[in-house]
């Protein structure tokens, strides 16, 4: 085959470009510090890097979540510490005021300081973190108390239930509650019986209970409940008595179902207390002034069993505490009663205030311990996340970071090859037209 000058030049240029391309690729590695620039360089390595980067990003999100949880808990702990300090000072003042040697003017002076402590409690109840009220459950944009110290929550029909716990993801299948629902701290008072102020906070929460289902649309064909005779059954228990509810018919409207259950409840009501059922935002809600439990079926095994999940409830579901706008806080009410007793020169009432404040202090200390445990867990979680992130970044570095010394050596080798190619090519294509005309 005849080899022409043009062929030699073309081959030379192609080979020079290949050498130059390899050198450019190595220079990019050296500049970026990475073993691969594009997926085609190492498909398996790129796939592994993508997975590791995703895991690092996930860990960083867990870290942010845990940091946020820790900050929320710190704010809550500060609020509880302030409440504990207020209770400590109130106890000192009440013990001082209980002495019969105090004049009415001295007790009025103590009452004035108690009023300020009471107002400070209201302010603490409305404490916030990053613009979110920490004691208002899911309603973080609503203050817990109004200016009078009554539960507010935005007013209207809004209510706060004890299960409004905000959880954050702090790990794979690992969630942590970050908030504390207000009535656990401030309690509930019916405003009628002064003796209820002597109750423990947790016992006051039994007085107003709510059991709420999930969103249910019975108008959808597959959700419609069909209960031909003899009907379907479930049981409501209040801890003392149990009431079987039997429903018969077809129900494609939650309000109609609620009315049927209400008829059954009214037919054979509990002696005490009553159970009420309403529909709120397409959810069934059972309410009472004691703890309720809902169970599928009845005591008679011959009765057809009704799966309560069909109406948005769960088997063995238990009610939780609730407060409504306008309800009184037990803790605030204790301070109001103490102020009244001081101004009325009521020594017996003042002495009662000492034990009431002691009960509240015990409740606050128990909750502080709980928050402390959560804070410790959050701190341990942060340390674990930092260790995991460091390990993942180490694996990522081993997978994609280039050995700079090796890359520099290869660059030098390619430079030598390129320079040699240029030198050899210069000698091959040295003849010109003038050389042929000689």
Q: Is residue 1 part of a domain?
A: no
The Cα-based distances of 85 to 31, 78, 121, 187, 406 in angstroms read: 60, 11, 11, 18, 65
State the sign of the Cα–Cα–Cα–Cα dihedral 57, 40, 394, 401: negative
pLDDT for 278 = 86
Range of 274's domain?
211-323
**174 and 84 housed in the same domain:** yes
- 4 by DSSP, 3-state: which? coil
**178 and 297 housed in the same domain:** no
- Phi, psi (deg, nearest 5) at residue 160: -115, 120
**224 and 169 housed in the same domain:** no
Boundary of a domain, candidates 388, 403, 431: 388
- Give dist(CA 142, CA 133) in Å, integer: 7
Number of C-alpha atoms within 13 angstroms, CB side, residue 337? 26
Q: Report the b/e string of 217-248 with b at 16+ CB within 10 A.
A: ebeeeeeebebeeebbbbbbbbeeeebbbbbe
**81 and 174 housed in the same domain:** yes
pLDDT by position in tens, the chain (length 438): 676 667 777 777 787 788 777 777 767 777 677 777 777 767 887 788 888 889 999 999 999 999 999 999 999 999 999 999 999 999 999 999 998 888 899 999 999 999 999 999 999 999 999 999 999 999 999 999 998 999 998 877 788 999 899 999 999 889 999 999 999 999 999 888 888 899 999 888 888 888 888 888 888 878 888 877 767 788 888 777 778 888 888 888 888 888 888 888 776 666 555 788 888 888 888 888 888 888 876 555 555 566 788 888 888 888 888 898 999 999 999 999 999 999 999 999 999 999 999 999 999 999 999 999 999 999 999 999 999 999 998 888 787 767 677 767 877 787 777 777 777 776 666 666 565 555
pLDDT for 110 = 95
- Give dist(CA 126, CA 332) in Å, integer: 13
Closest C-alpha among 114, 123, 112 to residue 186 = 123
Cβ-contact 246, 234 below 8 angstroms: no
- Considering the entire predicted model, what is its pTM? 0.79
CATH number, domain with residue 203: 1.20.1330.10
pLDDT for 287 = 86
Domain count, the chain: 2
pLDDT for 177 = 93
- Phi, psi (deg, nearest 5) at residue 210: -140, 140
Cβ-contact 79, 127 below 8 angstroms: yes
- Give dist(CA 67, CA 382) in Å, integer: 8
pLDDT for 215 = 86
Q: Is residue 422 part of a domain?
A: no
**203 and 190 housed in the same domain:** yes
pLDDT for 66 = 95
Cβ-contact 251, 258 below 8 angstroms: no
CATH number, domain with residue 311: 3.30.70
Boundary of a domain, candidates 270, 294, 323: 323
**95 and 121 housed in the same domain:** yes
Q: Is residue 34 part of a domain?
A: no
Q: Is residue 42 part of a domain?
A: no
**169 and 273 housed in the same domain:** no
Q: Is residue 405 part of a domain?
A: no
Count the Cβ atoms, other than its own, within 10 Å of residue 249.
Answer: 14
- Give dist(CA 203, CA 51) in Å, integer: 51
Cβ-contact 268, 241 below 8 angstroms: no
The burial of 165, by beta-carbon neighbours within 10 Å (0-12 exposed, 13-18 middle, 19 or more buried), is given as middle
């Amino acid at each position: 085959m005849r080899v022409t000058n043009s062929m030699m030049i073309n081959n030379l240029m192609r080979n020079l470009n290949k050498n130059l391309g390899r050198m450019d690729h190595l220079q990019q590695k050296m500049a970026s510090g990475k073993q691969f620039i594009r997926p085609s360089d190492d498909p398996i390595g790129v796939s592994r890097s993508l997975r590791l980067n995703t895991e690092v990003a996930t860990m960083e999100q867990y870290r942010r979540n845990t940091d946020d949880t820790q900050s929320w808990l710190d704010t809550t702990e500060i609020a509880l510490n302030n409440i504990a300090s207020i209770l400590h000072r109130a106890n000192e003042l009440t013990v001082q005021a209980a002495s019969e040697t105090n004049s009415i003017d001295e007790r009025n002076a103590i009452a004035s300081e108690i009023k300020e402590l009471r107002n400070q409690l209201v302010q603490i109840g409305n404490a916030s973190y990053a613009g979110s009220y920490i004691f208002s459950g899911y309603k973080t944009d609503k203050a817990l108390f109004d200016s009078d110290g009554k539960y507010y929550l935005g007013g209207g029909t809004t209510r706060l239930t004890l299960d409004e716990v905000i959880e954050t993801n702090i790990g794979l299948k690992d969630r942590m509650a970050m908030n504390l629902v207000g009535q656990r701290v401030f309690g509930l008072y019916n405003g009628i019986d002064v003796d209820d102020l002597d109750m423990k906070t947790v016992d006051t929460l039994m007085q107003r209970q709510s059991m709420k289902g999930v969103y249910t649309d019975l108008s959808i064909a597959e959700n419609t409940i069909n209960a031909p005779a003899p009907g379907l059954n479930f049981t409501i228990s209040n801890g003392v008595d149990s009431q079987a509810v039997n429903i018969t018919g077809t129900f494609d409207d939650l309000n109609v179902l609620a009315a049927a259950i209400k008829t059954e409840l009214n037919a054979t009501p509990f002696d005490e207390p009553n159970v009420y059922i309403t529909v709120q935002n397409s959810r069934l809600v059972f309410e009472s002034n004691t703890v309720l439990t809902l169970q599928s079926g009845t005591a008679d095994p011959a009765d057809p069993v009704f799966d309560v999940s069909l109406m948005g409830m769960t088997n063995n579901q238990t009610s939780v505490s609730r407060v409504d706008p306008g309800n009184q806080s037990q803790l605030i009410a204790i301070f109001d009663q103490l102020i009244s007793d001081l101004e009325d020169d009521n020594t017996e009432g003042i002495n009662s205030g000492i034990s009431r404040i002691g009960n509240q202090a015990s409740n606050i200390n128990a909750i502080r311990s709980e928050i402390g445990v959560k804070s410790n867990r959050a701190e341990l979680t942060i340390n674990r996340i930092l260790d995991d992130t460091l390990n993942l970044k180490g694996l990522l570095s081993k997978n994609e970071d280039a050995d700079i010394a090796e890359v520099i050596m290869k660059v030098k080798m390619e430079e030598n090859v390129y320079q040699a190619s240029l030198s050899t090519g210069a000698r091959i294509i040295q003849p010109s037209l003038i050389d042929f005309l000689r």
